[in-house]
Structure 1
Amino acid sequence: MRGVSPAAPDGDHTPLFRLLGPVRVGPPGGPQVRPGPPRQQAVLGVLLLRRRRPVTVAGLVAAVWGNDAPASAAGNLRTYAWALRTLLEPGRAPGEPARILLGDERGYMLDTPPESVDAWRFEQQVEAARKVRERGDTAAEHALLAGALALWTGEALAGVPGPFAEEERTRLAALRTTARKRHIVCALRLGLHHTVIPELSMLTREFPLDEELRALLMRALHGCGRQAEAFTVFADTHRVLDEELGVAPCPELTALNARLLAHDPPLLVRRPPPRTPARPQTRSARLPDEAERALGDAMSALTKGADRAVVPVLAITGPAGAGKTALARRIADSAADRFPDGRLYAELRTWGPGEAGSGPLLGYLLHALGIPAAGIPADPDQRAALYRSALAVRRVLVVLDGTRDAAQAVPLLPGTPGSAVLLTTRSRVLPFELPAATHIELTAPPAAAPPCRVDIDVPDTAAPDTAAPGCEDLPPELARAARRLTRHGTFPSSVDALAAVLGTGPADAARIAEALVDARVLDTPAAGAYRPRGRP
């Protein structure tokens, strides 16, 4: 610009500018102040975001006033420029050339280093995060994005008028939202689920129609073991989208809900390395040989229903420790592409006999299918009808793990072809009581050293409660039961005898005994009979 020579500002005294929140300016390490009235802030914002490029008077007028510029706009600009020079260079003597805000009758330019503007630093750090992401360095990306987001103190250019400020507010807000999502994704991949739940909860309230944010919240909750809350997020999303837009959740969100229901690990989680060396794999940790050979037959059994106009049911039977659940998960994973609407998973061992099918379990499955709580009827028959109607328009694999009997399973079967059922059970009778069922039977693996020793040769009833080493991985109730049995001289084999030793009723004793069988502490040689694992 004519008559003005830019002079490099003294780096020690160059002011710092904050645009990512209320506009502020001040020296490094000194107080930050508001740079004048709103339109003067608008002029400063335009010059800063143009990054050392001249802006004509006409351009400034359009950026600050738009189509509503008064006749005095050019004169007002000269006043704002004078006030900004006084603020930015308080020690400049009269007649001394300006070093920061340069200008003449044609226009103005701010000669400041880019790093003095927080908006520039934010965009640079976001770009640096993108580059390290390409190298697969999640921890570095997380740290860079954390630093970038820390620069924000509120809405960008808060309270600044004019079309230019509005456009920049929108642009910077979009960049910030993207950076926040990426920062959350990194946290989930690093296993920091609990750190992002408060922010995600706030963001989903602020942007209730953003399905990506809701998916991230579901993953974070699931990663913290808060599965019920994760499924509630999906149901609430289904309700909000239906009420506001008349649409269902997107396929990606629906698929995520199905994966969480199936107890699959969240897609974004990269678990941290274990702190202790992994234990050597035992036979109980892998599928039995006969189970591996059954995979092909199982796939055929689950998909033949489309040709026969029936709902196929695949029942996997076998004693505790035979690998039923592991095989069911392997089959469900292998068949995932045959059921595009995902899978429903219910662990039936955790539901009492009166709850299965007609009570809370059907309500749980309806909720998992996206039916809002207000739409789930109280009547069991109406719940069953709604459940089958919901499955009639979907292709879903229903996985029922630990099924006791036909009375528990039948209400959970889909009513129309397209979906299929995969269940595990200890009952050898159940497969023959279900329509269109194919049966795979697994045998017990060879006896091996139990993970939690129950030593019946220690009759000392005064042994401390810390006896039975190796039980520390069991839930407290089961660990206490195992210790009591360890201290008992003659091992009780019947449910009534177990109840007497454990101080419970027969029903609770049977439940505990079955759980200890699942934990490979006890064997069950016959119905209602139990013994320490590996003992004759």
Structure 2
Amino acid sequence: MSAPDLGLRLLGPVSCVLDGEEVDAGPPRQRAVLVMLAASPGRVVTQDQLVEGLWGGRPPASARQSVYTYVAGLRRAIEPARDPGARPGLLVGAAGGYRLLVEPDQVDAIAFTRLAEAARRSAGAGAHPEALRVYEQALGLWRGRALGDVPGPFAEAERLRLEELRAGAVEGRAAARIRLGAADEAVPELRALVARHPLREHPYELLVLALDACGRRQEALRVYEEARHVLDDELGVGPGEGLRRAYALVGGGTEVAREEGPVPRQLPRDLSGFVGRPREIARLRALLAPGDDEPPPMVVISGAPGSGKSALAVHVAHGVRHRFPDGQVFVNLRGGTPNVPRLTPQEIAARLLRAIGTPNEDVPPGSEEAVALWRARAQGRRLLVLLDDAAGLAQIRWLLPVPEGVCVLVTSRESLRVGDGRVRVRLGRLPRAEAGSMLAGLAGKGRVRSDPAGTASLIRLCDGLPLALRIAGARLADRPDWTVGELAGRLADERTRLHELEAGDLAVRSGLAASWSHLTHSDHAVDRAAARMLALLGLVHVPDLSADAAARLAGVPEREAGCALDRLSDAHLLERDVRGRFQLHDLVRVFAGELVPAEGRKAPLLRLFGYYAAGLRSAARTADPNRVHPTHLPVAEPGRAFRDADEANAWIEREEPTLLAAAAQAMADPDDDLARTGAALGLAMLWPQQKAYRVADLISIGNRALSVAERLADDETAMHAHSQAGVGEYFKGDLTAALEHIDRHLTLARRLNDRFEEQRAHGNLAATYAKAQRYDRALEHALAQREIAREISSEVGERYALLQIGNAHRQMGRLGEAAAALEEAAAMAGRAGDAALEGHMRHALGALQLDRGDLEAGLAQLERALGRAVAGGTKLMQVQCLIQLARANRLLTRRTAAAERLAEAESLARALDSASWLERVAEEREAMGAAGPEG
């Protein structure tokens, strides 16, 4: 049976060609289903795979029904003549999924891949004319950005794969042209490729060779220098072997200078009076400082909880730090921290990058990009990286292979099975002599020597665990009137419990219980306050706490809370980090979680979560007083005050991980009041996260708050939750999901007769329809927003409505009406001191003036817009301004300035992980490549 005359185009906007005519493949997610089926023609793609490819790990409840709908739509599109009720002939059902019955070469992406591979084989065999012909044929299939605007995790991964293959094919075609004496034809496409992929080395190498072949040696040397600076500035690395070889061939040198980076010194303080583990210390020092040899790339210290892994690692690291002149980096991976999420590979890589001097705004938000940048920047540095408390090999697998010159020291409760020259040192219990030395150092040699039987009993009851011994020693130090035997007798009262547990943490648990009991029954008020504080801290599932937050949790003045925290720290039940924040040791956290505060759990948690919500509202208002924040949920606790926007923004940035963890805990709580307060906290994150472009968090918090609202039948919370999730989906680019959320926002606002939220929903609908290029609908909603905003005297709403009105008119070619709306909006924003929104207005005006041909005025307006966007901290608007500034300079034939602005835009868009704006950067770069020489 011959294959049907159906062509599937993925190398550009996704479409179908049926009998020579292009067919509309439907809405974005329907096209995403087509992409997944076309990627595996003839093979079954299961329903689960389609759901995962469309929505990732958080599909909506209606996901499977939506897949049915999309498949039905595709069948109508590709078989329009099929009789109703007839069996499909192209897209057929199969066990658990669907098959698309087309030949592989009917899919342009598969045809391209096959052609590119054939061209590579020809080039490898020396058949360069054939290679060039086939490369031309393969690249001729491309019509734009792969998969167009198709959403979903599968499309994102497939798009990256295809674009990578495309870049390789362009490189192959250029190499073939150079080989065939047509280097002059290769130069333009290589320049475009370098501009599009400035961190790929091979295009630079080929461009150096092509320019030299054209007799343009000085240009070739300049390209090499450009590549050297880009690689050093962006990745912190020098040119690779191929680029250096090309440089040498054209008569350049081979030495590349490298600037010294910052030298991190992040090791925690070495434990005073560290004793024990002489064999392990000797082995670890021999591994990490092995004379003239290189240390192994990774050393793992594993053992039971409380066996002293972290203390030993820090002690040894201090002893060998002279072998690592480029610095020592420390990261707590939180692998065994109860109720607190462990660090992800992206978070680990981000911390490592910041430690070696990478500015926060340059750290990529995606894990693959962050890991790649870490590898590039760490390569060749003599660094010691101490990763404390790995959850398992999966958490650190991305580190393998370790960059050359770097040594990674890992501690973990798991027995990490590592190979390839990597070494594991396992810790058991402390031998009696070493345990006795530890106790002597803590409680005094005389007391330990005078009671050998009591010492032996105490060591046995502590099971030789350093943490338990340290706690016991601290208790003895606090009670100089006790003998060692007396403390051993107190611990012996719990012998039945220790016997029942028969686990590595049993002695730790008994020691913790004894220490807490001592505080609870002490005659000193500060001890009793510390005991109460420990029970309260066990209620909270956050990474760390500040003293003021702990005070709200306990309902006491901050000074009193600080004294209790200090007492817990002195008793080795709490850790204070260098920032003055407090963290429970992992085992103490487990113990504290079992304690029941006398006042119960609800009141303390309401105080803390309410304090966070009120503080966040106050910080967000101080940071930008022109934004209107959801305040419908009452918060009893007063928030802290902030002097200015800088202090408020610093507080938000410092507290953000704790605020997110607190909001998640509260919203998941079965108590209605706690869940409501958690929703208030999460929804207060709207503007800070929108400004910082925290897309995933906006969606996640919105959906969690929506679950709370549905559970409590709370329409107001649901309204704000839909708004927050809709904004996140808008930024993500899933306009279908955004419209669904914002439509619900509008419906609920009308039901509640909330005119302010009604006009806000109209404004968000206007922006979303404009992004979808449905400018008539955008104008309709913008006009509705302005009408309501004027009715309720909301200037901020009217300003935003005018912005959307102006943008819609501009896109519809009504430049005069657009200018009038935008100028009025800019004037209003300027009078209100609304820097963020004024940046939007000036950007739109600048773009409009460029459309009119008033280039110098447009350039000046866009420079003002960029200044306002920077002042307002709106990162995405900065990207938009930079792209338009590149356009303005291009139109003015100022190519150097245009290229500089476009490079800034690309760097920021990559930092924000914004695919749509990276596409706009690419479009402007193509336009720049087609422009004439600089004037």
Task: Give the shorter-chain TM-score range.
Answer: 0.3 to 0.5
TM-score for both structures, normalised by structure 2: 0.26
Q: Kindly indicate which of the two structures has a greater share of residues assigned to helix.
A: 2
Greater relative contact order (Cα < 8 A, sep 6+): 1
